[in-house]
């Protein structure tokens, strides 16, 4: 079975400061890893993914994430947060050997204060 953990329910950061949203995963095989962002009453917007290759993945809106196999982590990062980055962030995993079903973490609410 595959699972995802986002240990922080909420992350508060001042505008201009670095932002990190943590994610760890568990799969039996090789993982596909994703980050999505959700604004209020909206669907999920795709930010970035790791499939294979470079461990550092760059995505939309200046976000990046680093795949760390030994720590089974895929933390989302942004060097300088904006107030408009305030939203709900979801990490998701798919086991390559288990079809295309995504498992989501519980979500982390990011609040960027001006």
Partner 1 sequence: GAVVSQHPSRVICKSGTSVKIECRSLDFQATTMFWYRQFPKQSLMLMATSNEGSKATYEQGVEKDKFLINHASLTLSTLTVTSAHPEDSSFYICSAGAGVNTDTQYFGPGTRLTVL
CB of 71 to partner 1, least distance (A): 22
Nearest approach in angstroms of CB 23 to partner 1 is 12
69 Cβ contact partners less than 8 Å away, ≥ 6 residues apart: 55
The CA-based angle 33-39-43, given to 5 degrees, is: 65
DSSP 42: -
Task: Report the residue number, 38 or 72, with the smaller CB distance to partner 1.
Answer: 38
Burial class (CB in 10 A: 0-12, 13-18, 19+), 37: buried
> Counting contacts by CB under 8 A, is residue 22 touching partner 1?
no
Cβ of residue 76: shortest distance to partner 1, in angstroms?
16
Binding region for partner 1 (CB under 8 A): 32, 34, 36, 41-46, 49, 51, 90, 94, 96, 99-107
């Amino acid at each position: 079975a595959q699972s995802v953990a986002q240990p922080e329910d909420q992350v508060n950061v001042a505008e201009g400061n670095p932002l990190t949203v943590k994610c760890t995963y568990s799969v039996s095989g090789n993982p596909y890893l994703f980050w999505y962002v959700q604004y209020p009453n909206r669907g999920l917007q795709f930010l970035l993914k790791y499939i294979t290759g470079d461990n550092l993945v760059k995505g939309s809106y200046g976000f990046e994430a680093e795949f760390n196999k030994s720590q089974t982590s895929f933390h989302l990062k942004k060097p300088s947060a904006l107030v408009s980055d305030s939203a709900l962030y979801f990490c998701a995993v798919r086991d390559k050997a288990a079809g295309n079903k995504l498992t989501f973490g519980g979500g982390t609410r990011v609040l960027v204060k001006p």
